[in-house]
Amino acid sequence: MDLINRISSEQNQFSKSERKVAALILHEPEQAIHRSIASLAALAEVSEPTVNRFCRRLGCKGYPDFKLQLAQSLAQGTPFVNRDIEEDDNVDQITQKIFDSTLNALSIARQSLDSRPIAATVEALVGARKIAFFGFGASASVAHDAQNKFARFDTPSVFSDDPLVQRMWAINSEPNDVLVCISHTGRTKALCEIAAIAHDNKATVIGITAPNSPLSENCQLTVSTNVPEDTDQYMPMASRIAQLVLIDAIIAGYTLQRGPKFREKLARVKEGLKGSRYSKQATTKE
């Protein structure tokens, strides 16, 4: 097992301080290779001896040896597909690895999740005058899924992955409007600019994104899944699944927060959509 997978699988064995180091490395392993021990300790808000103890727990001689093994771990795999997949893997191995890596990523995301910004996000959406869900690339599909769910509700909502449409919405945004920006890295320039416009208009900007990213700087609320996936190098896979799960949690919280009468209205919407599907056919054995 390579170093990154070991860190992921052994998180429960770490101390509270060591888990902070693990979370930071898993979130941005490429950057960790170039950081000094003092820099890493400061970002993780732990002491330098804690970082050294973390490295030795993983079987490394010290921090320099840890960085070397981390670099070797990142060099493995097939670029632009998935870090765990090798050139000679067959379809069965590929399928198993994708499932395993996704389940592992979801487990890491759940362990590191902070419920406070999720609760605040639900509150903001409940009080919103109108809502927009914006994203690009793989994150656009997550934003579209979120708006598709909100289309069943009575608060006006929009989705767009067109930067000009997004910019117009942001320019016209007002207080009590909510903009949900979805980006795994938080470094997409166009989305950061649109978030800044909405923020200047006093709209509530929520980022489902990386903490301390350029996007998060213009977000009143940042919800992070902390999935250890380098989307600069590999196709977004586990990070997208984690975002979808997070959206489902927010939707469930929103629905409960709106109360019984709202859920009765939602039931009527669901009933009204039944005619758009073929009815289930009961199968009988002759």
Neighbours of 120 (CB within 10 A): 15
Q: pLDDT-derived band of residue 113, with 50, 70 and 90 as boundaries? A: confident
The arithmetic mean of pLDDT across residues 77-81, rounded, is 45
What is the chain's mean pLDDT, rounded?
86
Instruction: Tell whether the model's pLDDT for residue 35 goes beyond 70.
Output: yes
Which tens digits make up the pLDDT trace of 4-24? 878 877 877 889 999 999 988
Q: Write down the pLDDT at residue 175.
A: 96
pTM: 0.69
CA-nearest of 23, 73, 76 to 51 is 23
Is the confidence at residue 214, as pLDDT, over 60? yes
Name the phi and psi angles at 130, rounded to 5. Answer: -155, 160
Q: What is the pLDDT of residues 114-149, one digit of tens each?
A: 899 999 999 999 999 999 999 998 899 999 999 999
Q: What is the mean pLDDT of residues 221-247?
A: 77
Pick the residue with more confidence: 285 or 210?
210
Q: What is the pLDDT of residue 8?
A: 78
Kindly report which listed range (87-101, 145-159, 252-266) carries the lowest average pLDDT score: 87-101
Q: Under a CB-based contact definition with an 8 Å cutoff, are residues 58 and 72 in contact?
A: no
pLDDT at 80: 40
Q: Where are the alpha helices (DSSP H) in the chain?
A: 3-9, 16-27, 29-32, 37-44, 48-57, 63-75, 91-112, 115-126, 138-150, 163-171, 189-200, 238-258, 260-272
Which pLDDT score, from 0 to 100, does residue 203 have?
98
Indicate the pLDDT class of residue 170, thresholds 50, 70 and 90.
very high
pLDDT confidence bin for 283, thresholds 50/70/90: very low
| Beta bridge mates, 206 | 180, 221
> Residue 43: is its pLDDT beyond 70?
yes
pLDDT digits (tens, 9 = 90+) for 82-110: 556 677 788 998 888 778 777 777 776 77
Q: Is 68 helix (H, G, I), strand (E, B) or coil?
A: helix
Cβ neighbors of 187 (< 8 A, separation 6 or more) are 213, 214, 215
Distance CA 6, CA 9 (A): 5
Length of the chain: 286
